[in-house]
Amino acid sequence: MKQLFLLLFTHLIISGIMAQAPQSFQYQAVVRDDTGQPLVHVAADIAIEILQGGHDGTVVFSELHLVETNAFGLVNIQVGSQESLEHIAWGDDLYFIRVSLDGNIMGTTQLLSVPYALHAQTSSDSFSGDYHDLDNLPVLDHFVAVDSPEEGDLVVYHEDGWTRIPVGAEGQVLTIVNGLPAWADPAGTEGETVTDIDGNVYQTIQIGNLLWMAENLKTTHYNDGTPIAYPGDNNQAWTGNTTGAYAWYGNDESNKDLYGALYNWRAVNTGILCPEGWYVPEDSDFYAMVDFLINSDEGYTSENLGNALKSCRQVNSPMGDGCDVTAHPRWNAHWLHYGTDDFGYGALPGGIRYPNGSYDEMGTYFNIWTSTERNASTAWSWYIGYEDGEIAPDFMFKSTGYSVRCVKDLSRKEED
């Protein structure tokens, strides 16, 4: 024997009031057997009647729904979807709903919120939807006022007042600087070159408000002229270093101009590894870069952005001439994940020097330090791998040798 257990029936759905779409409301119930167990995936004939005046009042509406219960015994019925409710004078009387299941009356209940909501559409004091039909209209002429507005300006609320953001230049994109919208050149805009204290010149690329080196750092001196320690193949000197050290991959200096140097985090932590006015990016700078690029184009996600940042130089690259190479510097071949270098960032897999003195991952991983410490023995880094398309954070022991890319915060420059 089927029983009907009422879950909810004053859930009102009135769509398109202004367009005068048909009125309806939703009725939900659970169909159970005589032991109280839900009957799942069974057919049910449910009759809905609306009575005027009382439990035994006049039937002013009726419709029949042939439904099937779901995996929980639940049925959903849109009352008013079969027959019209529009002729009912909801404001004139009390109304009740009577539900029957397979011809058996299961109960009658008073409608409460439904008549009020449906009646509101036709009542004499209902809102037409036209702002100008309201009484006591507020005067808004001077609610927002800025001096000398120009075509295309933005007006934003800031520090208890309205601030005008002048329109940007053609091709710029909107970003956030210090909590306020600001116009910036789009990702991939070529920036100035920067020269380190050794005389190495690096191409740069602007992404949001950060100007990034488009090459791995290869200086052998701090920006105050102090030499950076080079332990070479003396691994005891490398692991015991506390003042900062660098290495060439495989202790081979010919890798300098291919992939740059590998620095331990203690060199990063000196604060003077990068050229004057530049710094090793914080962990938050990488997040800012990733968020800016993903928000700049809906085609980029955290799963494919790494491919867009990689240099296109790759074994068997489908990008063609200039990208399909075997000579270093380049990425190892992968049938699916290959660099497209959409922004000119040119990430190259300079590999890693492990604390035990071994070298690995040239051609497979772009491992890059941040200046953000994680704990006494590790610091945060980011990586891009040849076998997948993401760019993601990681952490590593401070005595590990990783690549470095320096950045300049252009918003700080403007403030200065």
Asked if 51 contacts 57 with a C-beta cutoff of 8 angstroms, the reply is: yes
CA distance 36 to 38: 7
Domain end marker among 88, 103, 119: 119
Residue 148 forms part of a structural domain:
no
Q: Could you tell me the CATH number of the domain that includes residue 32? A: 2.60.40.10
Residue 214 forms part of a structural domain:
yes
Residue 189 forms part of a structural domain:
no
Backbone angles phi, psi at 394, to 5 degrees: -155, 180
208 plus 106 within the same structural domain: no
Residue 88 forms part of a structural domain:
yes
206 plus 351 within the same structural domain: yes
Handedness of CA 249, 254, 259, 264 (dihedral sign): positive
252 plus 355 within the same structural domain: yes
152-179 burial code (b ≥16 CB/10 A, e <16) = eebeeeeeeeeeebeebeeeebebbbee
At residue 390, the pLDDT reads 95
- E strands present in 267-409: 350-353, 359-362, 365-373, 378-385, 391-397, 407-409
Backbone angles phi, psi at 118, to 5 degrees: -70, -35
CA distance 48 to 79: 8
95 plus 239 within the same structural domain: no
At residue 120, the pLDDT reads 59
Domain end marker among 60, 91, 119: 119
At residue 308, the pLDDT reads 95
Cα end-to-end distance, the chain, whole Å:
81
Instruction: Indicate the residue type of 35.
Output: T
The tens-digit pLDDT sequence of the chain (416 residues) is: 556 554 433 344 444 333 444 578 888 888 888 888 888 999 989 999 999 999 999 999 999 999 999 998 888 899 988 998 888 888 788 999 999 988 888 889 888 766 656 665 555 555 666 767 777 777 666 566 666 777 777 877 777 777 777 777 666 667 665 566 766 666 555 567 999 999 999 999 999 889 999 999 999 999 999 999 999 999 999 999 999 999 999 999 999 999 999 999 999 999 999 999 999 999 999 999 999 999 887 789 989 999 999 999 999 999 988 899 999 999 999 989 999 999 999 999 999 999 999 999 999 999 999 999 999 999 999 999 999 999 999 999 999 999 999 999 987 644 44
92 plus 238 within the same structural domain: no
What is this structure's pTM? 0.57
209 plus 76 within the same structural domain: no
111 plus 200 within the same structural domain: no
Domain end marker among 66, 91, 119: 119
Residue 108 domain boundaries: 2-119
CA distance 193 to 213: 8
CB atoms closer than 10 angstroms to residue 188: 16
Residue 50 forms part of a structural domain:
yes
DSSP strand pairing (104-110 vs 2-13):
unpaired
Alpha helical stretches, state H, 40-152:
113-119
248 plus 379 within the same structural domain: yes
CA distance 405 to 82: 67
58 plus 203 within the same structural domain: no
93-121 burial code (b ≥16 CB/10 A, e <16) = eebbbbbbbeeeebeeeebeebbebbeee
Residue 54 forms part of a structural domain:
yes
Q: Pseudo-torsion of CA 226, 232, 235, 238, nearest 10°?
A: 20
201 plus 95 within the same structural domain: no
At residue 362, the pLDDT reads 97
Q: Concatenate the DSSP letters of all residues of 59-84 into one string.
A: EEEEEEEEEE--TTSEEEEEETSSS-
111 plus 203 within the same structural domain: no
At residue 91, the pLDDT reads 79
Please give the tally of structural domains in the chain: 2
CA distance 133 to 138: 12
Residue 179 forms part of a structural domain:
no
At residue 337, the pLDDT reads 95
At residue 351, the pLDDT reads 96
77 plus 208 within the same structural domain: no
Cis check for the bond before 393: say yes or no (omega within 30 of 0): no
